[in-house]
A and B are shown apart, each in its own frame.
Chain A
């Protein structure tokens, strides 16, 4: 616990130290990143101890804040969520030292590093806080710190707009959380988690409040609208932290609240499965329609949060129908996907940052052929793509496989659930399959169009590989994706205690599905054999070709000898068949000026896919609110004396009401 407190102090105090280095960019870089590294390393000590099976005693101090107390604890559930937070924060800090270098002297980087460390510390505090007041405070620091990080390039109109959308969305979420905590703690004089218990009638309402409040942060559809705005606007190492780990605090909050609500009725599981399936399928579809690399990745976060939520849904259904094995598999898949998504999504955002750093554009359609000039970035982006598509032998498959197993065991065999559970499980299996197929479409597009083929513009033709400080974190993340991919059983074992916390059973009575461990071992075997086979076949081919003519010619284009890079398929054309099929959701806008006369001089075509919910739910809703509220706009006249008068009047009314 001392390490934890030290780490929190490091993040917060060290963050302030960054501010003190304003004006000396070289020093800022060193202080900012080393604070993140030291803070992360300090907190990793208790995290690893807890993951290793040790039980730590919590900290409980008095705090003058009403209902508040400084209650900190690190249990297995907190450890599972803080591990990715710390690792990604540390790696992204290393990356940031180089990524932010072009801005040195132009922007106030001290401020950026201050908010970065504040964000890191607050995320850690969110997962270890054991008091409602402290939790909300940390939650709010997290939201504000990330808001300031998102608006780093605030001289751009689009960035300011993205920042506002994020600020509004996150506060709407916090409003729900405030109600939730008041509801949970209203029978007690304190908001300590240990005293939380939902009275039976309120459990359902509390669950819904948590789903909306935490779901806004986690990016569940339709509350996801801030993600595709904020992630592209932020600097890439911040996007990696936000998309990779910050949105997971939403999942953590939801799971933590569920532990206070007692045994879940089946409709909770059903609701989570539905929310997950909708977020997953629509997330990947919207991703497919994007040309902006970081927007595409942001929508994929929505998709992956959907997968995680489906896993939670299966877990809850398992609890509702008293099937510990199904519950275990659902939560295990979900938690492991939290870790995996943190790894591969950060990897993808960091490599996207490397591409943007090198080429100066985010538009996929302007790239092409980058692999030849950026071999390391290209390789790690490919690995990240395979992982996020959930393909073996990388880590994404292991966690999706566990969710599949949870759904399969609910459907068939001696542990099958009642019929409502079976249908939910089928929804999960079918959605995962569709999401998997569409994700392959999306990432073959992203990797294939960006890194392969010929350069489509001068941006792409003049890229350069990033330096060591950017390549190293990416390489570490890629290696982690491979290692988790071939060591599945170990991770399932490791997650056991966290699942016990989430399902509310004692660790020693937990049912550990040995058949799943066996399956994961067999998969490891298969993966190793497959990799061996790849090596063997490569060797055989090189032997076959060693003494023969191997020539390099232009790509065969059906005898048409002078093809140009502009004739290549683009990302938009690649995705068009799918986006047209699902146009009912996507509503892609096309602007097309056709070539007219016999000797056409110009023609153009462009598409834009805006967010369905942003355009047809939130924009009308906010316009209506604005119209309504503008009627009382006369109150906002700017005269301070009248404001004070109205405050005194309000206080008087309250006083009379309370006394009378």
Chain B
């Protein structure tokens, strides 16, 4: 039982550190723009402030609108239990947990989308429409990418896959793993609504996906939504960092330390991408996502052909 609680520590780490990633991204963008930028811990103060406020609901909305943030946060916290951290197994690990991981995040998306439609606003309808379009394409990319990793390592659970990935795996299947990494990065940007797929900063222009869907939330509900979004950034980022750090073959406390450093570096990279690129046209986004599917598919072919 004791080891179970120890293994819960990474979950707590994610719950505590996730909003920090937002601060790091903002700070990176500020540095690029030559600004001071908001404090690194700004996201925490925002959450604390929102939790202290009352709420305003639209007259059009129903209980679905109020259920969505709760279900979203519960979903993303549930998948954190499946998430291994560099060389350390997750608290809960079973064959096929990678599918559960993706589908539980799908449940979160389902409710975010119907909640957006619940407001009856055409603006939020647009965001919802784009969200389902892009995520329908992101889903095969991440499934095929993870199946490729399973094929490369011979394990069928997230913990199994990431603990079996070693320097040798990279020697044998390096190019394929790099392709998976690229595909996962595209999916990561798309699912978290970052540039070049979506611009998280423009609240009032017709260019958005996630920000526009949550436009009618306020107070504690908005806090739940923002926190869940930060956690989603954390869990999808963790997949990338786990793959990227696997050649070092670390585990234990050193693995955890390096993992946190890796997540911060990932946040810096996202900040750099957001500073150097413009949001691409919505008509072009599907091409990017189809590219991700292709990358995953090619990686899978390489692995099956050359390492079987």
B32 close to chain A: CB less than 8 A? no
User: Which of A368, A441, A523, A576 contacts B100, CB < 8 Å?
Assistant: A523
Q: Is the CB of B150 within 8 A of A412?
A: yes
B171 close to chain A: CB less than 8 A? no
B265-283 interface code vs A (CB 8 A; 1 in, 0 out): 0000000000000000010
Q: Is the CB of B110 within 8 A of A519?
A: no
User: Which of A372, A516, A548 contacts B55, CB < 8 Å?
Assistant: A548
**Complex interface: chain A residues within 8 A of B60 (CB):** 369, 453-454, 554-555
Q: Is the CB of B107 within 8 A of A430?
A: no
Query: Known interface pairs A392-B103, A392-B107. Does A518 touch B95 (Cβ–Cβ under 8 Å)?
Result: yes
**Residue of A with least CB distance to B112:** A444
A544 close to chain B: CB less than 8 A? yes
Q: Is the CB of B140 within 8 A of A437?
A: yes
A350-385 interface code vs B (CB 8 A; 1 in, 0 out): 000000000000000000110110000000001001
A491-514 interface code vs B (CB 8 A; 1 in, 0 out): 000000000000000000000000
Q: Is the CB of B128 within 8 A of A404?
A: no
Q: How far is the CB of A524 from chain B (nearest CB, A)?
A: 11
**Residue of B with least CB distance to A372:** B62
**Complex interface: chain B residues within 8 A of A534 (CB):** 70-71, 74
**Complex interface: chain B residues within 8 A of A452 (CB):** 62, 64, 114, 117-118, 120
Q: Is the CB of B132 within 8 A of A429?
A: no
**Residue of A with least CB distance to B75:** A530
A529 close to chain B: CB less than 8 A? yes
A436 close to chain B: CB less than 8 A? yes
A408 close to chain B: CB less than 8 A? yes
Main secondary structure of the interface of B (DSSP, over half): helix
Query: Known interface pairs A441-B133, A449-B117, A574-B129. Does A405 touch B95 (Cβ–Cβ under 8 Å)?
Result: yes
- Docked CA distance A435–B67 (Å): 25
- Docked CA distance A433–B51 (Å): 36
Q: How far is the CB of B18 from chain A (nearest CB, A)?
A: 16
Q: Is the CB of A553 within 8 A of B136?
A: no
A423 close to chain B: CB less than 8 A? yes
How many positions in chain A have a CB within 8 Å of any CB in the partner chain? Answer: 87
B77 close to chain A: CB less than 8 A? yes
- Docked CA distance A444–B112 (Å): 10
B102-117 interface code vs A (CB 8 A; 1 in, 0 out): 1110110110011011
Main secondary structure of the interface of A (DSSP, over half): helix
Query: Known interface pairs A391-B107, A452-B114. Does A441 touch B121 (Cβ–Cβ under 8 Å)?
Result: no
A538 close to chain B: CB less than 8 A? yes
Q: How far is the CB of B30 from chain A (nearest CB, A)?
A: 27
Q: Is the CB of B99 within 8 A of A530?
A: no
User: Which of B144, B216, B219 contacts A429, CB < 8 Å?
Assistant: B144
- Docked CA distance A552–B218 (Å): 11
Q: Is the CB of A568 within 8 A of B95?
A: no
Q: Is the CB of A368 within 8 A of B120?
A: yes
- Docked CA distance A545–B53 (Å): 8
Query: Known interface pairs A453-B117, A453-B118, A577-B133. Does A554 touch B78 (Cβ–Cβ under 8 Å)?
Result: no
Q: How far is the CB of B286 from chain A (nearest CB, A)?
A: 6
Q: Is the CB of B107 within 8 A of A519?
A: no
In the complex, number of A-B residue pairs with CB atoms less than 8 Å apart: 266
B78-96 interface code vs A (CB 8 A; 1 in, 0 out): 1001100000000010111
- Docked CA distance A538–B71 (Å): 9
Query: Which candidate, A72-80, A198-206, A556-564, is the interface stretch facing chain B?
Result: A556-564
**Complex interface: chain A residues within 8 A of B286 (CB):** 581
A305 close to chain B: CB less than 8 A? no
A568-579 interface code vs B (CB 8 A; 1 in, 0 out): 110001111110
**Complex interface: chain B residues within 8 A of A454 (CB):** 60, 120
- Docked CA distance A436–B78 (Å): 20
Q: How far is the CB of B60 from chain A (nearest CB, A)?
A: 5
Q: Is the CB of B137 within 8 A of A549?
A: no
**Complex interface: chain B residues within 8 A of A49 (CB):** none
A401 close to chain B: CB less than 8 A? yes
Query: Known interface pairs A401-B96, A412-B151. Does A419 touch B129 (Cβ–Cβ under 8 Å)?
Result: no
- Docked CA distance A526–B93 (Å): 11
**Complex interface: chain B residues within 8 A of A430 (CB):** 140, 143-144, 293, 297
Query: Known interface pairs A430-B144, A434-B140, A537-B70. Does A567 touch B122 (Cβ–Cβ under 8 Å)?
Result: yes
User: Which of A408, A516, A569 contacts B129, CB < 8 Å?
Assistant: A569
List A residues 422-470 near B (Cβ within 8 Å). Answer: 422-423, 426, 429-430, 432-434, 436-438, 440-441, 443-445, 447-449, 452-454
B300 close to chain A: CB less than 8 A? yes
Q: How far is the CB of A79 from chain B (nearest CB, A)?
A: 27
- Docked CA distance A371–B60 (Å): 11
B58 close to chain A: CB less than 8 A? yes
Q: Is the CB of B114 within 8 A of A544?
A: no
User: Which of B61, B92, B104, B109 contacts A525, CB < 8 Å?
Assistant: B92
Q: Is the CB of A526 within 8 A of B117?
A: no
**Residue of B with least CB distance to A534:** B74
**Complex interface: chain A residues within 8 A of B126 (CB):** 569
**Residue of B with least CB distance to A438:** B136
Q: Is the CB of A569 within 8 A of B119?
A: no
Q: Is the CB of A577 within 8 A of B129?
A: yes
User: Which of A385, A411, A523 contacts B147, CB < 8 Å?
Assistant: A411
- Docked CA distance A386–B109 (Å): 11
- Docked CA distance A423–B308 (Å): 12
**Complex interface: chain A residues within 8 A of B75 (CB):** 530
Query: Which candidate, B41-49, B152-160, B251-259, is the interface stretch facing chain A?
Result: B152-160
**Complex interface: chain A residues within 8 A of B74 (CB):** 530-531, 533-534, 537
- Docked CA distance A519–B59 (Å): 43
Query: Known interface pairs A545-B54, A553-B58. Does A448 touch B122 (Cβ–Cβ under 8 Å)?
Result: no
User: Which of B64, B132, B150 contacts A371, CB < 8 Å?
Assistant: B64
Give the top 5 A-B pairs by smallest Cβ distance, nearest first. Answer: A569-B125, A448-B117, A437-B136, A453-B120, A548-B54
20 contacts between A and B (CB under 8 A): A371-B62, A412-B147, A412-B154, A414-B154, A422-B308, A434-B139, A448-B114, A448-B117, A452-B64, A453-B119, A516-B96, A525-B92, A526-B81, A529-B78, A533-B77, A537-B73, A551-B55, A554-B60, A555-B120, A578-B132
